[in-house]
Structure 1
């Protein structure tokens, strides 16, 4: 038979078990809460970029082709749910497409004059940002068959020179050098993009072509460069902007920030572009 004392002792032991169990549960709950709080206080890189998603189309000057393809790949790697598609051409051609309603998200021009056409038309979202500079270079085929030694050589009879058309940034810069030196060129063709000029030189169709320093650098052994000190007086500044009404403007803004930020600037510098 259980006595009252026995029952009391049993009750106390039961109560202690309940208290201990409750304390243990509380401790576990606190620990879980603390872990949850700790892991949530510092977002991972994936969480930081998870809000960026979807495609954008970037219209960029032809001289940016190789560099921007790399920047696009780097941007997509940092933001896996985005997609960057490019359209490369002479800046003046791109402006014509933009003003005619082409669905571009971002425009990167090889000069400020063509960007001004976009801003004057009210098609830029905000103020364009300068992100790079570039200077002209004389490109010749490997071995320099025509023995070009400088700017003055380009005006000699029989020398086949290819330039960009005057409305294209590299062509406008060429005209400025002609005026500053007093030496007028007589090109056998004027191209709508600097990449077309480079192609004619590398294929041997021209004795020389006026391109950018970055084009010669990026072309590797397919062309050679002739020293051209007069080019230092003509510097092209490259601006970039998100376009008004841009599809997926949040991703477009992020891409512009990427290009103008430390990572983008390093890629541009490695390619031979100067600081803005």
Structure 2
């Protein structure tokens, strides 16, 4: 009896594993920076599915948060798209788990101050410098965690620079408060929704978010310029390497790059960092075609 039960369990386990393997072959799990939610879920993902017949599975969060989850073996994926090259560096080499052997920088997006057009402070953004408006009593500001998301770190850095540029030593304290101020710091994937719903008056966003979603925005002075530098890689332990290759090939193809431009992303000449020999040959061919 026990033998029959064990055989039955083994057969069931084998069937389940076989089903999972088939499912993996038909799905590509893409872990990406939360600022790309609209682009990935409404544009790139559906277009990729239509072109390849594969299923796009996306997970959005702050780039550092995703990297920490990968490093801590809390999350697996096929493709990782970060908003900062530094995040990839933390996943390279034996000391960091050998999760990433190479990455490609392929797009950029400047940091902006976006505001809700229905906010009582909206008119002020049209007539006053942005730092003055952010100091007004009662204004609700949103930003991401500087420890979990490059955009959050860029925000703090930019306001620090503005304090010096505009000779306002207390600007950071008056606009941001503590680096991890709980009244302002929110998950990247929810920040846009909070602004659009009226829970926030203003926030710090990349141009791809403000342009894509028609959010009124202010571009800081050139001296304060900060921007996302989007990179992509296929994770070394990707469950579906062939599917991952087809996704990155698609994203860097002429069609993929056109979708990026349509969503307000500044497409740049792809630049490879790391072991280029470990890249799929097809991806190298796609990159060569963009040169």
- Normalization by structure 2: what TM-score? 0.69
Aligned-CA RMSD value: 2.2
Alpha carbons 2:91, 2:100 under 8 Å: kept: no
The CA distance in 1 between the partners of 2:37 and 2:191, in whole Å, is: 14
- Residue 152 of structure 1 aligns with which residue? 131
Distance change (3 Å), C-alpha of 1:158 and 1:165: same
Task: Work out which structure has the larger RCO, using CA pairs closer than 8 Å and 6 or more positions apart in sequence.
Answer: 2
Distance change (3 Å), C-alpha of 1:260 and 1:126: farther
Measure how far apart 1:157 and its partner are.
4.0
Q: Number of residue pairs matched?
A: 221
Structure 1 counterpart of 2:86, from 80, 99, 113: 113
Where in structure 2 are the equivalents of 1:92-171 lying within 5 Å?
92-101=64-73, 102-120=75-93, 121-146=96-121, 147-148=124-125, 149-153=128-132, 154-167=134-147, 168-171=149-152
Distance change (3 Å), C-alpha of 1:215 and 1:231: farther
The CA distance in 2 between the partners of 1:159 and 1:242, in whole Å, is: 41
Alpha carbons 1:61, 1:110 under 8 Å: kept: yes
- Residue 91 of structure 1 aligns with which residue? 63
- Residue 17 of structure 1 aligns with which residue? none
Please state if 1:178 is matched with 2:173. no
Q: Which runs of 5+ in 1 are unaligned?
A: 1-52
Q: Which runs of 5+ in 2 are unaligned?
A: 1-24, 164-170, 178-182, 269-291
Please state if 1:61 is matched with 2:33. yes
Alpha carbons 1:144, 1:224 under 8 Å: kept: no
Measure how far apart 1:227 and its partner are.
4.2
Q: Deviations over 1:198-227 (max 9, x none)?
A: 22222222221111111112223xx42234
Alpha carbons 2:206, 2:228 under 8 Å: kept: no
Measure how far apart 1:125 and its partner are.
4.5
SS of equivalent to 2:101:
strand
The CA distance in 1 between the partners of 2:158 and 2:82, in whole Å, is: 20
